[in-house]
Amino acid sequence: MHFFLQVAIVLLTYLALTPVFRKLGQAQVIAIMVAGFVLGPSVLGWLWPAGQAWLFPTKVTFGDHNLSHPNLVAIYVVGQLGLVLYMFMVGASFNLQLLSTHLRQAATISAVGIACPMLLGGAVGWWLVSSRGFFTQDIQPWQGGIFMAAAVAVTAFPMLAWIIYDSGLVDTRMGTLALACAAIDDAAAWIILAAVVASTKGKTSGALLALGGGVAFVAIMILAVRPLLMTFFQWSASRVDLQGGNKAFPTAHFCGVLVVILTAAWVTDLVGVYCVLGAFVAGAVMPRGELLLTITQRMDPLVSYLLLPCFFVYSGLNAHIELIFNRSVLMAAAVVLLSAFVGKFGGVALSARWQGLSWSEAGSIGALTNARGLMELILLNIGFQNKVITGELYTILALMTIVTTFAATPLHRLFESRSITYSNVFT
């Protein structure tokens, strides 16, 4: 079993790619995402098929049956753990004050920025179902429409936040608005995600359980769990010295927070929404302060640079770039990419301009909110695991994710270079 070698190669790959992407003006998170696809069949498998098959085997033969390789299962489990903990950290950094400050502008921009790509994506999804080969046989046109509407409408809040902080835009009006829009988009994405998961259930009861259970879970976390957490954090803070650089933090307190995260992830997975929603909400309801900051700081290196890359590798192992090299699939890829980019960029930019921003600021927000990254990959994996989409559509959407996320920073800088000045949120 060479699982440990696999993880070591993952680390070496994104460390090698990081300076390359830095020179291209990209955030490190882009290198982590791309590393997963580089190690999959689309790149390494094309350059060195035998080596890639040995390093990252996906199947093992047991009698007459082909089963998932134990190493692939291990990568999946580690990646899921990393994903859950990372989404907790995203929820913990969710700035409700930022959202409330720019709520009116951000809500208007987000509404149009979600509606436009959803309409285009829904039409594309309906067409792809009728074209055959992109959705599984049991999927109805309306289900394909919902899935594609979600796929082209989402914005990756954690990835966008990383890009904005990395680019030094956090104190600008444009950067603040982009983050606020992404926060609203993220909330909408969870609703869309619940609808997608519910639509794949064979029974109406399953769909109602997913949607109703998700709403009930959020309500319970806000109304019941948050007050308990506030009491727990106050009790912990009275026993922990976090001042003067002393970060002494009892293991029992840290484990208590982990229990909340993992239980929340289990509950949402149980009702059929998806485990990441539970982790995200658990982070969002945590009381803010030095204690929460210490917890996330302790998690961050292990999660961001060891566990989460396994999720990207697992996603990359399911993408087969050779599947798109025929006329019909290439045409579908072009239509999906065009609808995703034009719908999101056009909707956000025009709405932002209507809200009084300059064309350069509106264009920058449109470019930045096109970063789909992690949210898109979560959606793809849900669709693939629930047998909604085929390998062809998975690869098309994975390619769209990389292209739109990669293009976000250069396009922002292009619009930024045409702007005379950005207004600072503190002026």
Q: What is the pLDDT of residues 383-406, one digit of tens each?
A: 888 888 998 999 999 999 989 988
- The mean pLDDT of 11-36, rounded to a whole number, is 86
Supply the CATH number for residue 350's domain.
1.20.1530.20
The listed range with the strongest mean pLDDT (101-110, 132-141, 188-197, 418-427) is 132-141
Higher pLDDT, 302 or 169: 302
Give the chain's largest Cα–Cα span.
70
In whole angstroms, what is the distance from residue 328 CA to residue 4 CA? 40
pLDDT digits (tens, 9 = 90+) for 310-350: 888 888 888 888 888 888 889 999 999 999 999 999 998 99
What residues does 389 pair with on adjacent strands?
A: 135
Please choose, from the candidates 109, 147, 37, the residue with its C-alpha nearest in 3D space to the C-alpha of residue 351: 109
Phi, psi of 24, rounded to the nearest 5 degrees: -85, 5
Task: Compute CA 13 distance to the chain's CA centroid, rounded to the nearest angstrom.
Answer: 21
Residue 246 lies in a domain: yes
222 lies in some domain: yes
State how many domains the chain has.
1
Is 82 part of a structural domain of the chain? no
The pLDDT value given to residue 99: 62
pLDDT at 133: 83
| Beta pairing partners, 282 | none
What is the residue whose two structure tokens read 């000045």?
A: 421
Flag whether pLDDT at 67 surpasses 70: no
Residue 19 inside a domain? The answer is no
Structural domain of 330 = 94-307+324-417
Q: Amino acid identity of 277?
A: L
Q: How far apart are the first and last CA of the chain?
A: 58
Burial (Cβ within 10 Å: 0-12, 13-18, ≥19) of residue 170:
middle
Residue 164 in tokens: 């904005």
pTM, rounded to two decimals: 0.80
Distance CA(380)–CA(83), nearest Å, equals: 14
Residue 129 lies in a domain: yes
* Residue 316 within a domain: no
103 lies in some domain: yes
